[in-house]
Amino acid sequence: DLTDPVLSSEAELAFEGALRPKSLEEFVGQTRVRGQLQLLLTAATMQQRTPDHILLAGPPGLGKTTLAMIVAYEGGRPLRMSSGPAIQHAGDLAAILSSLVPGEVLFIDEVHRMARSAEEMLYLAMEDFRIDIMVGKGAGATSVPLDLAPFTLVGATTRSGLLPNPLRDRFGFTAHLEFYDEAELEQVLVRAATMLGLDVDREALAEIAGRCRGTPRIANRLLRRVRDYALVHGGRADLGAVRAALDLYDVDPLGLDRLDRAVMETILTRFGGGPVGLNTLAVSVGEESETIEAVVEPFLVRIGLITRTPRGRMATPSAWRHFGIPEVGAT
Ligand code: ADP
């Protein structure tokens, strides 16, 4: 998670891996998507074929990588993991595709960031399990067809709007992952606390569930910070420890982090509540507009602090209230 340098490290990644559910049954929430995936996988198994290609769309930390792994585990299939930024030439993709074994699940994270030339190769691969490889250069160049083993592509994207239509159309199924509600997040936390052998008060877990931006990854990370806090201060991981630890890490009562608040304060104070365009907003807070659009904005919209209008982003009345600023133009 690039927006969260404090919380990302090797240890955090190992911890994240250890907590990943390994079956659809263990996967908390996303009931609709789970049912849809279950049907797709069962039908494929009954027909003894590879499942259709799957696109998983949604903000970071909601379980896209986890679901890709589950697609492989549930079918007893090998899994290959790659990502859009790692595929900068058609050759990178050709190397991966030509080495897949029959039935393999290929996970491409951030699939919208793949090179154009690779994207075009992927169309044919997804449709016909075949690619054309260019041999030689200039006038003597010829294309040699190469048959691939049948595979299932699982693509993940935080920006499904950025995928070219021909690519989007080649996925048999697209799942839009939603933010989790507090009851689901509590379930995620109870599971994590149990797996880690942490003794945490139930009301402490509920507090974390309400302050993790609807995101399991953040819930699990905050749990670790609370555990650290209780350890260092020699107390229990109780409500007091949660509040103190989350204050220390700048997580506000709504779960907003520093970047969320910077965006809100910019809209409210510099642009009088908006509307303000995405790029202007990104420049004002010194972030990439992609991060604002994929990471920050979906949650702010979800909790009703901003709305998207054709003229830009606007603060809602509850945003003015939450930040304790008198609304511009209000009496
Ligand atoms: P994404 O790929 O969407 O960024 P991940 O699949 O890497 O998200 O999930 C991040 C972390 O959150 C993982 O450690 C995983 O254990 C946890 N997680 C995500 N979704 C769930 C879920 N539905 N139930 C339990 N844990 C989850």
Q: Model confidence over 110-158: pLDDT tens digits? A: 999 999 999 999 999 999 999 998 888 888 889 899 999 999 999 999 9
Tokens, residue 1: 């998670």
Give nearest CA residue, ligand 1 atom 23.
28
Contacts of 1 by beta carbon, 8 Å cutoff, 6+ apart: 7, 8, 60, 61, 217
Centre of ligand 1 from the C-alpha of residue 217, in Å: 6
Q: How far is CA 56 from CA 164, 185, 201, 273, in A?
A: 15, 20, 34, 33
Phi first, then psi, for residue 83 (nearest 5°) are -150, 155
Centre of ligand 1 from the C-alpha of residue 145, in Å: 38
pLDDT for position 134:
82
Q: Is the CB of 34 under 6 A from ligand 1?
A: no
19 pLDDT exceeds 90? no
Predicted TM-score of the model (pTM): 0.91
pLDDT for position 34:
96
Model confidence at 1, pLDDT cuts 50, 70, 90, reads very low
pLDDT for position 121:
94
pLDDT over 90, % of the chain = 80
Give nearest CA residue, ligand 1 atom 12.
217
Tokens, residue 179: 């933010």
Q: Model confidence over 178-191: pLDDT tens digits? A: 999 999 999 999 99
pLDDT for position 329:
63
Return d(Cα 313, Cα 319) in angstroms, integer: 12
Neighbours of 135 (CB within 10 A): 10
Q: Is the CB of 27 under 6 A from ligand 1?
A: yes
Residues, the chain:
331
- The mean predicted confidence, pLDDT, of the chain is 91
Return d(Cα 259, Cα 132) in angstroms, integer: 45
pLDDT for position 5:
43
Which residues are marked as active site?
64-65, 109, 158, 217
Atom of ligand 1 nearest to the CA of 216: 12
Q: How far is CA 296 from CA 46, 122, 156, 162, 289, in A?
A: 41, 30, 18, 17, 10
Atom of ligand 1 nearest to the CA of 15: 14
Q: Is the CB of 189 under 6 A from ligand 1?
A: no
Identity of the residue numbered 297: E
Dihedral angle sign, alpha carbons of residues 147, 153, 159, 164: positive
CA nearest neighbour of 202 among 239, 153, 170, 176? 239
pLDDT for position 3:
44
Give 76 or 327, the one with higher predicted confidence: 76
What stretch of H or E contains 57?
A: strand 54-57
Lowest mean pLDDT among 70-79, 194-203, 295-304: 194-203
Query: For the residues 168-197, what does the mean pLDDT come to?
Result: 94
Tokens, residue 257: 């982090």
Q: DSSP E strands: which ranges in the chain?
A: 54-57, 79-83, 105-109, 130-135, 142-147, 152-157, 173-176, 306-309, 312-315
10 pLDDT exceeds 80? no
Q: Is the CB of 66 under 6 A from ligand 1?
A: yes
Query: For the residues 11-16, what does the mean pLDDT come to?
Result: 74
